[in-house]
Protein backbone atom coordinates (compact mmCIF):
# COMPACT_ATOMS: atom_id res chain seq x y z
CA UNK A 1 0.00 0.00 0.00
CA UNK A 2 1.44 3.35 -1.09
CA UNK A 3 0.98 6.46 1.03
CA UNK A 4 1.99 10.14 0.84
CA UNK A 5 1.64 13.07 3.23
CA UNK A 6 1.63 16.80 2.43
CA UNK A 7 0.41 20.05 3.94
CA UNK A 8 -2.77 21.52 2.40
CA UNK A 9 -1.58 23.90 -0.31
CA UNK A 10 -3.46 26.68 -2.10
CA UNK A 11 -4.12 25.56 -5.70
CA UNK A 12 -0.79 23.68 -5.80
CA UNK A 13 1.26 22.95 -8.90
CA UNK A 14 0.93 19.73 -10.87
CA UNK A 15 3.65 17.91 -8.92
CA UNK A 16 1.37 17.91 -5.88
CA UNK A 17 -1.31 16.12 -7.89
CA UNK A 18 1.25 13.71 -9.33
CA UNK A 19 2.06 12.73 -5.76
CA UNK A 20 -1.60 12.18 -4.90
CA UNK A 21 -2.16 10.17 -8.07
CA UNK A 22 0.90 8.00 -7.36
CA UNK A 23 -0.43 6.61 -4.06
CA UNK A 24 -3.37 4.69 -2.64
CA UNK A 25 -3.86 7.02 0.34
CA UNK A 26 -2.92 10.68 0.73
CA UNK A 27 -2.82 12.37 4.13
CA UNK A 28 -3.50 16.11 4.33
CA UNK A 29 -1.10 17.30 7.04
CA UNK A 30 -3.27 20.09 8.44
CA UNK A 31 -2.19 19.89 12.09
CA UNK A 32 1.48 20.81 11.72
CA UNK A 33 3.10 24.24 12.06
CA UNK A 34 2.17 26.88 9.51
CA UNK A 35 4.96 27.63 7.01
CA UNK A 36 5.31 31.34 6.34
CA UNK A 37 6.12 32.34 2.74
CA UNK A 38 5.39 28.79 1.60
CA UNK A 39 2.53 27.42 -0.50
CA UNK A 40 -0.21 27.17 2.13
CA UNK A 41 -1.84 30.51 1.34
CA UNK A 42 -0.40 31.41 -2.05
CA UNK A 43 0.56 30.17 -5.48
CA UNK A 44 1.63 31.48 -8.86
CA UNK A 45 -0.43 32.25 -11.93
CA UNK A 46 0.21 34.09 -15.19
CA UNK A 47 -0.62 37.81 -15.12
CA UNK A 48 0.11 39.91 -18.23
CA UNK A 49 2.36 37.13 -19.52
CA UNK A 50 4.44 37.15 -16.34
CA UNK A 51 4.49 35.11 -13.14
CA UNK A 52 2.60 36.63 -10.22
CA UNK A 53 1.61 35.34 -6.80
CA UNK A 54 -2.02 35.12 -5.78
CA UNK A 55 -2.14 35.26 -1.99
CA UNK A 56 -4.87 34.52 0.53
CA UNK A 57 -4.57 37.02 3.41
CA UNK A 58 -4.32 35.18 6.74
CA UNK A 59 -3.83 35.82 10.45
CA UNK A 60 -1.66 33.73 12.81
CA UNK A 61 0.78 33.31 9.93
CA UNK A 62 3.70 31.92 11.92
CA UNK A 63 5.16 28.60 13.06
CA UNK A 64 3.61 29.29 16.49
CA UNK A 65 0.27 28.20 15.03
CA UNK A 66 -0.91 25.09 13.26
CA UNK A 67 -2.14 25.28 9.68
CA UNK A 68 -5.69 24.45 10.76
CA UNK A 69 -5.60 27.34 13.26
CA UNK A 70 -4.70 29.91 10.60
CA UNK A 71 -7.65 32.11 9.66
CA UNK A 72 -8.44 33.91 6.41
CA UNK A 73 -8.79 37.69 6.61
CA UNK A 74 -11.64 39.46 4.77
CA UNK A 75 -12.72 36.33 2.90
CA UNK A 76 -15.40 37.97 0.75
CA UNK A 77 -13.07 40.74 -0.36
CA UNK A 78 -10.33 38.24 -1.15
CA UNK A 79 -12.73 35.95 -3.05
CA UNK A 80 -14.01 38.77 -5.25
CA UNK A 81 -10.49 39.98 -6.02
CA UNK A 82 -9.28 36.45 -6.74
CA UNK A 83 -12.09 35.64 -9.19
CA UNK A 84 -11.69 39.03 -10.88
CA UNK A 85 -7.95 38.42 -11.33
CA UNK A 86 -8.52 34.97 -12.80
CA UNK A 87 -11.21 36.21 -15.16
CA UNK A 88 -9.13 39.13 -16.40
CA UNK A 89 -6.03 37.03 -17.07
CA UNK A 90 -7.51 33.74 -18.32
CA UNK A 91 -10.72 34.71 -20.13
CA UNK A 92 -9.19 33.73 -23.50
CA UNK A 93 -7.88 30.35 -22.32
CA UNK A 94 -9.52 27.39 -24.13
CA UNK A 95 -11.04 25.87 -20.98
CA UNK A 96 -11.82 29.12 -19.19
CA UNK A 97 -15.59 28.66 -18.87
CA UNK A 98 -15.55 25.27 -17.18
CA UNK A 99 -12.60 26.06 -14.92
CA UNK A 100 -13.96 29.46 -13.93
CA UNK A 101 -17.28 27.80 -13.05
CA UNK A 102 -15.33 25.26 -10.99
CA UNK A 103 -13.59 28.09 -9.12
CA UNK A 104 -16.89 29.84 -8.47
CA UNK A 105 -18.26 26.59 -7.04
CA UNK A 106 -15.25 26.27 -4.75
CA UNK A 107 -15.71 29.81 -3.47
CA UNK A 108 -19.49 29.57 -3.16
CA UNK A 109 -18.93 28.42 0.43
CA UNK A 110 -17.65 30.76 3.14
CA UNK A 111 -14.30 29.71 4.57
CA UNK A 112 -12.76 31.05 7.76
CA UNK A 113 -9.68 28.81 7.91
CA UNK A 114 -7.10 28.38 5.16
CA UNK A 115 -6.95 24.61 5.72
CA UNK A 116 -10.70 24.25 5.13
CA UNK A 117 -10.47 26.20 1.88
CA UNK A 118 -7.47 24.21 0.69
CA UNK A 119 -9.04 20.85 1.52
CA UNK A 120 -12.27 21.82 -0.23
CA UNK A 121 -10.53 22.98 -3.41
CA UNK A 122 -8.42 19.81 -3.34
CA UNK A 123 -11.49 17.56 -3.34
CA UNK A 124 -13.12 19.58 -6.12
CA UNK A 125 -10.05 19.39 -8.36
CA UNK A 126 -9.51 15.69 -7.68
CA UNK A 127 -13.12 15.08 -8.68
CA UNK A 128 -12.66 17.14 -11.86
CA UNK A 129 -9.53 15.16 -12.79
CA UNK A 130 -11.15 11.86 -11.71
CA UNK A 131 -8.31 11.02 -9.30
CA UNK A 132 -9.62 8.28 -7.00
CA UNK A 133 -6.94 8.30 -4.27
CA UNK A 134 -8.35 8.05 -0.75
CA UNK A 135 -7.84 11.32 1.16
CA UNK A 136 -7.32 11.38 4.94
CA UNK A 137 -7.18 14.50 7.13
CA UNK A 138 -4.42 14.23 9.73
CA UNK A 139 -6.23 16.17 12.46
CA UNK A 140 -9.23 13.84 12.17
CA UNK A 141 -7.36 10.56 11.96
CA UNK A 142 -4.15 10.00 13.93
CA UNK A 143 -3.73 11.90 17.22
CA UNK A 144 0.07 11.67 17.19
CA UNK A 145 1.14 15.32 17.37
CA UNK A 146 3.52 14.50 20.23
CA UNK A 147 5.88 12.73 17.80
CA UNK A 148 8.62 14.48 15.86
CA UNK A 149 8.59 14.87 12.08
CA UNK A 150 10.03 11.55 10.89
CA UNK A 151 8.60 9.48 13.76
CA UNK A 152 5.17 10.90 13.11
CA UNK A 153 5.31 10.02 9.42
CA UNK A 154 6.42 6.50 10.30
CA UNK A 155 3.58 6.20 12.80
CA UNK A 156 1.03 7.22 10.17
CA UNK A 157 2.52 4.73 7.70
CA UNK A 158 2.26 1.93 10.26
CA UNK A 159 -1.30 2.81 11.24
CA UNK A 160 -2.34 2.74 7.58
CA UNK A 161 -0.34 -0.45 6.84
CA UNK A 162 1.74 1.33 4.21
CA UNK A 163 4.60 -0.60 2.65
CA UNK A 164 5.70 2.31 0.42
CA UNK A 165 5.96 5.95 1.45
CA UNK A 166 6.41 8.54 -1.32
CA UNK A 167 7.47 12.07 -0.46
CA UNK A 168 7.84 15.21 -2.55
CA UNK A 169 11.35 15.71 -3.91
CA UNK A 170 11.89 18.68 -1.61
CA UNK A 171 11.98 16.40 1.42
CA UNK A 172 15.10 14.41 0.57
CA UNK A 173 17.00 15.89 3.53
CA UNK A 174 14.19 15.23 6.01
CA UNK A 175 13.90 11.45 5.97
CA UNK A 176 16.26 8.50 6.34
CA UNK A 177 15.65 5.61 3.92
CA UNK A 178 17.31 3.13 6.30
CA UNK A 179 15.02 4.07 9.15
CA UNK A 180 11.99 3.49 6.93
CA UNK A 181 13.46 0.20 5.70
CA UNK A 182 13.89 -0.95 9.33
CA UNK A 183 10.13 -0.48 9.68
CA UNK A 184 9.52 -2.53 6.49
CA UNK A 185 8.60 0.58 4.53
CA UNK A 186 10.28 1.58 1.26
CA UNK A 187 10.87 5.32 0.97
CA UNK A 188 10.86 7.09 -2.41
CA UNK A 189 10.90 10.70 -3.54
CA UNK A 190 8.81 11.90 -6.47
CA UNK A 191 10.60 14.16 -8.96
CA UNK A 192 8.35 15.71 -11.63
CA UNK A 193 9.63 15.71 -15.19
CA UNK A 194 9.58 18.98 -17.11
CA UNK A 195 6.04 19.55 -18.39
CA UNK A 196 5.12 22.14 -21.00
CA UNK A 197 1.93 23.05 -22.84
CA UNK A 198 0.61 25.91 -24.96
CA UNK A 199 -0.34 28.88 -22.83
CA UNK A 200 -1.09 32.30 -24.32
CA UNK A 201 1.00 33.58 -27.21
CA UNK A 202 4.07 33.96 -25.03
CA UNK A 203 7.09 32.05 -23.81
CA UNK A 204 6.03 29.09 -21.68
CA UNK A 205 6.13 29.63 -17.91
CA UNK A 206 6.53 26.30 -16.05
CA UNK A 207 5.34 25.11 -12.65
CA UNK A 208 2.45 27.50 -12.18
CA UNK A 209 -0.66 26.69 -10.14
CA UNK A 210 -2.89 23.83 -11.27
CA UNK A 211 -5.31 26.58 -12.29
CA UNK A 212 -3.03 27.43 -15.20
CA UNK A 213 -2.70 23.79 -16.19
CA UNK A 214 -6.48 23.28 -16.20
CA UNK A 215 -7.13 26.48 -18.14
CA UNK A 216 -5.03 25.26 -21.09
CA UNK A 217 -5.49 21.48 -21.03
CA UNK A 218 -8.42 19.09 -21.06
CA UNK A 219 -8.66 16.54 -18.20
CA UNK A 220 -7.47 13.54 -20.22
CA UNK A 221 -4.29 15.39 -21.21
CA UNK A 222 -3.68 16.44 -17.60
CA UNK A 223 -4.07 12.81 -16.54
CA UNK A 224 -1.21 11.90 -18.88
CA UNK A 225 0.87 14.66 -17.30
CA UNK A 226 0.25 13.13 -13.89
CA UNK A 227 2.47 10.21 -14.87
CA UNK A 228 5.39 12.39 -15.98
CA UNK A 229 7.66 11.85 -12.99
CA UNK A 230 10.40 9.59 -11.67
CA UNK A 231 10.81 7.99 -8.24
CA UNK A 232 14.24 8.16 -6.64
- Show pLDDT as tens, one digit a residue, over the chain (232 residues): 999 999 999 999 999 999 999 999 999 999 999 999 999 999 999 998 889 999 999 998 888 999 999 999 999 999 999 999 999 999 999 999 999 999 999 999 999 999 999 999 999 999 999 999 999 999 999 989 888 889 999 999 999 999 999 999 988 888 999 999 999 999 999 999 999 999 987 789 999 999 999 999 999 999 999 999 999 9
Range of the domain at 138: 2-231
Contacts 24+ apart (CB under 8 A), 88-93: 89/45, 89/46, 89/47, 89/48, 90/45, 90/46, 90/211, 90/212, 90/215, 92/200, 93/200, 93/215, 93/216
Rounded Cα distance between 183 and 86, Å, is 46
pTM for the predicted model, two decimal places: 0.96
Give the chain's domain count: 1
Amino acid sequence: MKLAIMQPYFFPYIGYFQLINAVDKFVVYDDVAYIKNGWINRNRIMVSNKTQYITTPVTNASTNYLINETQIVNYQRFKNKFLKTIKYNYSKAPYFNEIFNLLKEIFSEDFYYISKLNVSLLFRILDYLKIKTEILIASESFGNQDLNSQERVLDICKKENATIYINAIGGTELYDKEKFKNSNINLYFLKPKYISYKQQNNEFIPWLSIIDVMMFNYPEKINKMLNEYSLI
